[in-house]
Chains A and B, each alone.
Chain A
Amino acid sequence: MENFDWNALGVVFALLGAVLAALMGGIGSAIGVGMTGQAAAGVVTEDPSKFGKVLILQLLPGTQGIYGLLIGFVTLTQIGILGGEAPTTLAKGLLYLAACLPMAIVGMVSAKWQAKASVSSISLVAKKPDQFGKSMIFPAMVETYAVLALLISILSITSIASL
């Protein structure tokens, strides 16, 4: 163990970050879109003409999965797997991991809460289809925090190489 090169683990932690961003964002979105899909199906069962409106509301919690994928992809292009250079130190690898965490954690949590807001909005559209515009705003507010996490993760990942 004395001769073990801890710096070799840098790329491992960097990859772990990319994986977590895609994994946790994907899990959150899968749960969220599943929940909203049930509500949307309920409304369409009774009134198929509302399909277009409830479909949009169903898809809203799906964006976190896409953001997670994006962060995962950008990380891979920076750490020598799809491009860039592998982190030469353990610290750099951990920095990539830390940079991915905002998207991973906020992505998973916000997808589930956005789904709850979307389900409520689907109920709103079911009863008052003319309020569709307003019903979009409530779940979209949750999206703000996923976007903020995406921004901070992207800015961090793209800046680590130059440290």
Chain B
Amino acid sequence: MTEEYIYAVARVRSRELNLLSRQDVDQLMACRTYDECLRTLSDKGWGDGDPSAEAILAAEEEKTWAFIHELTDDLTPFKVLLYPTDYNNLKAAVKAVVTGVEPRDVFLPGGAVDPELMLRCVREGDFSELPETMAAAADEAYHTLLQTEDGQLCDVILDRACIADLLQCGRESGVEILRDYAELTAAVSDIKIAVRACKTGKSRAFLDAALAPCGTLDASSLAVAACKSLDDLFAYLSVTPYGEAAEKLRESYSAFEKYCDDRVMDLIKEQKMNPFTVGPLFAYVLARRNEISTVRIILSGKLNELDDGMIRERLRDMYV
């Protein structure tokens, strides 16, 4: 089984030469204007002709998935990355049907399930064509929204189902990086929910419904701490593997987000030494997402004429 990715990994290794390095990021940072940044990206082969920033970034995301589709027909290991898109589209479909609004430009591209299928399933109230766990969550979210008209509760149901699917996919893959990435994603999601709930004074019942159980955080202890105060929440986090997250959250939310992305980067860097499993392919997709996210931060900073220091402190570690 480990040998079925030898060809794919060799291609990924060659492609990694084209990933943005720290020097490339410095070159982008050295651009004086937003337009100069776009030109530099275009010179590096980014985009597919449309000069707008969003089109360039969307084209790069598409290129990444086109490459992965070329390498393997089985996207099961990548579902860990696709679930958030699918569940986001499912939220949009449920809300569109319940509110009776015709959905326009609300679906994200690149999910594993066709958004039109989701929309049809929700309209017909028959979720049997959706994957099993997604169908159950969609059914519950749809009826909850119909009965309570509480959009947040609908989101909570689907977000929790998304994390549960993600964790299950990671565990069932038998691939260490997928399992660790799913666990990290679940933990980060729980921390974000707990911090927001604590700041907005949400109830324990809300937290119990929203926090997904994961291996490295005790959802119950997290909920108890979040109900008390931010200091209690940070104190709980400091005795978990996410102690540094508490420090970053005290600093700022953007420092915490950078910490999360850098942890992902630390996780995938080990794949540089692995020539056999699906791990390097998965790491490549995350590395591409990371550089797209880095470029987005630079472009946004340049567009708003932010100070270079402010932009730099938000820049993520690079894979190469």
Please report A residues at the B interface, Cβ cutoff 8 Å: 35, 38-43, 45-47, 116, 119-120, 122-123, 126-127
Contact = CB atoms under 8 A, between A and B. Distances in A.
Interface string B144-184: 00000000000000000000000000000000000000000
B72 to A, nearest CB: 12
A127 B14 CA distance: 6
Query: For A43, A120, A126, which residue has the most chain B Cβ atoms within 10 angstroms?
Result: A126
Contacts of A42: 6-11, 13-14
Interface of B: 3, 6-11, 13-17, 275-276
B7 A41 contact: yes
A122 B276 CA distance: 12
Contacts of B15: 46
B6 A47 contact: no
Nearest to A125: B13
A40 B14 CA distance: 11
A88 B39 CA distance: 84
B6 A127 contact: no
B265 to A, nearest CB: 18
Contact of B13 (A38, A41, A43): A43
Contact of A126 (B3, B8, B14): B14
B6 A38 contact: yes
B3 A45 contact: no
Contacts of A46: 11, 14-15
Contacts of A122: 10, 275
Nearest to A121: B275
Contacts of B10: 38-43, 119, 122-123, 126
B6 A119 contact: yes
B156 to A, nearest CB: 44
Nearest to A124: B13
18 contacts: A39-B7, A39-B9, A39-B10, A39-B275, A41-B7, A42-B6, A42-B7, A42-B11, A42-B13, A43-B14, A46-B15, A122-B10, A123-B9, A126-B10, A126-B14, A126-B17, A127-B13, A127-B16
A39 B9 CA distance: 8
Given A35-B3, A35-B6, A39-B6, A123 B13 contact: yes
Nearest to B12: A42
Chain B, interface SS category: helix
B214 to A, nearest CB: 33
Given A38-B7, A123-B10, 4 more contacts: A35-B3, A43-B10, A122-B275, A123-B275
Contacts of B16: 127
A42 B8 CA distance: 6
Q: Which 3 A-B pairs have the closest CB atoms?
A: A42-B10, A46-B14, A126-B13
Among A39, A43, A123, A127, chain B packs the most CB atoms within 10 A around the CB of: A123
Contact of B275 (A40, A41, A47, A120): A120
A41 B6 CA distance: 10
Nearest to B273: A120
B14 to A, nearest CB: 3
A8 B3 CA distance: 45
Contacts of A126: 10, 13-14, 17
A40 B10 CA distance: 7
Nearest to B4: A38
Nearest to B16: A127
Contacts of B17: 126-127
B270 to A, nearest CB: 14
Contacts of B6: 35, 38-39, 42, 119
A41 B16 CA distance: 16
| B10, B11, B13, B17 — most chain A CB neighbours (10 Å) | B10
Nearest to A43: B10
Nearest to B71: A42
Nearest to A42: B10
Nearest to A129: B17
Nearest to B17: A127
